[in-house]
Amino acid sequence: MLMLLKRGGLAAGLAMLATTGAVAQSYPTRPVAITVPFAAGGPTDVVARTIADAMTRAMPGASVIVENVAGAGGTIGITKIARASPDGYSLLIHHIGMSTAPALYRKLQFDPLKDFEYIGLINDVPMTMLVKNGFPPNNLKELVPYLKANAGKVSFANAGIGSASHLCGLMFMSAIEVDLTTVPYKGTAPAMTDLIGGQVDMLCDQTTNTTQQIKGGKVKALAVTSPKRLETLKDLPTMTESGLPGFTVGIWHAMYAPKGTPKPVIDKLVATLQAALKDPAVVRRHSELGAEVVSTDRATPDALQKHLTAEIARWSPIIKKAGVYAD
Ligand code: ASP
């Protein structure tokens, strides 16, 4: 009886393997949707659309599209993918916020370390500190005393709790010991529209959303958050040069699938992501926007899992100490 059961189990296992193998071979047979947990037109969206186009080119017969599921600092979109069918047709591209959400949200509907299959890291992206045109300070040295004198009147936009713009703002306010009024948006695309329109005063956002606006003179950039100046924005000093030594924030994007997505499908997605990261259009777009794609050894499930685990451990005490949270 035991033998029969074992044999039955083995046969069922082999049949399942054969099915998943066959599924992976024919995968994808319909469009693959990447969820971006922020508004269209923003920095995460720009990265995801560039990658989706390159994945479409790299996977014969495939069509990879982007869906924006914005709100609550990205947690609505992440939850959608945590609960999606694990069939390879629902993926997620998200940034550093995946590692800060567990400390920031008291009622999180997903676990970054349990509810996902990891595909790989995508890029590293610096940020820039911006103010609206016409805002009196012209550099960080002038900005700090201005904010101390006008704290109650200055508004700082972000993409919701746990977004990179929120983290950058928190770090900035804590570094200069001033509390500003924060204004949450569904992404930094709408925040940028309001900064250009003069409805908000400040924004710290990724270069993938800010480079063109800075070059076009639509906003005033005061500093870059990378350790060194950027080739693309050579005249912009670092935060360290501007009087805030050690103030560096860099963000990273990565790709995920729901837990249980078959391994052969994940393997195919890893190979496709790695091909996309070598696509000349992806490399060029990143360097035009001051960002950098990761090397192939970082675009793997293993490297992403290690990075995410380390980032959660790095951010949790910082966030707990800051006493910031959301329900
Ligand atoms: N990445 C942006 C942020 O975290 C949001 C966005 O992509 O729209 O602020």
Q: Which residue CA neighbors atom 7 of ligand 1 most closely? A: 44
* pLDDT tens for each residue of 218-236: 999 999 999 999 999 999 9
Q: What is the pLDDT of residue 8?
A: 47
Task: Please check whether residue 290 is in contact with residue 250, taking contact to mean a CB–CB distance below 8 angstroms.
Answer: no
120 CB near ligand 1 (under 6 Å): no
252 CB near ligand 1 (under 6 Å): no
**Which ligand 1 atom sits nearest the alpha carbon of residue 186?**
8
Q: Which residue CA neighbors atom 5 of ligand 1 most closely? A: 187
pLDDT(15) > 50: no
**Which ligand 1 atom sits nearest the alpha carbon of residue 38?**
8
162 CB near ligand 1 (under 6 Å): no
Taken in order of first residue, the domains within the chain and their CATH numbers are 30-124+251-322 (3.40.190.150), 126-224 (3.40.190.10)
What is the distance between the alpha carbons of residues 153 and 111, in angstroms, rounded to a whole number?
A: 38
Q: What is the pLDDT of residue 14?
A: 44
95 CB near ligand 1 (under 6 Å): yes
Residue with the two structure tokens 């994940």: 266
Q: Ligand 1 centroid vs 271 CA: distance in angstroms?
A: 27
42 CB near ligand 1 (under 6 Å): yes
* pLDDT tens for each residue of 265-313: 999 999 999 999 999 999 999 999 999 999 999 999 999 999 999 999 9
Task: Provide the residue type at 44 as one letter.
Answer: T
Q: Ligand 1 centroid vs 267 CA: distance in angstroms?
A: 28
Note the pTM of the prediction, 2 decimals: 0.89
Tell me the Ramachandran region of residue 146: left when phi exceeds 0, alpha when psi lies from -120 to 50, beta otherwise: alpha
* pLDDT tens for each residue of 31-76: 999 999 999 999 999 999 999 999 999 998 899 999 999 999 999 9
186 CB near ligand 1 (under 6 Å): no
182 CB near ligand 1 (under 6 Å): no
**Which ligand 1 atom sits nearest the alpha carbon of residue 205?**
9
* pLDDT tens for each residue of 171-199: 899 899 999 999 999 999 999 999 999 99
pLDDT(10) > 50: no
* pLDDT tens for each residue of 87-100: 999 999 999 999 99
188 CB near ligand 1 (under 6 Å): yes
Q: Ligand 1 centroid vs 147 CA: distance in angstroms?
A: 24
Residues 6+ positions from 202 with CB-CB distance below 8 Å = 129, 130, 131, 132, 135, 154, 155, 156, 157, 169, 180, 195
pLDDT(3) > 60: no
Name the average pLDDT for the chain: 91
Task: Please check whether residue 78 is in contact with residue 259, taking contact to mean a CB–CB distance below 8 angstroms.
Answer: no
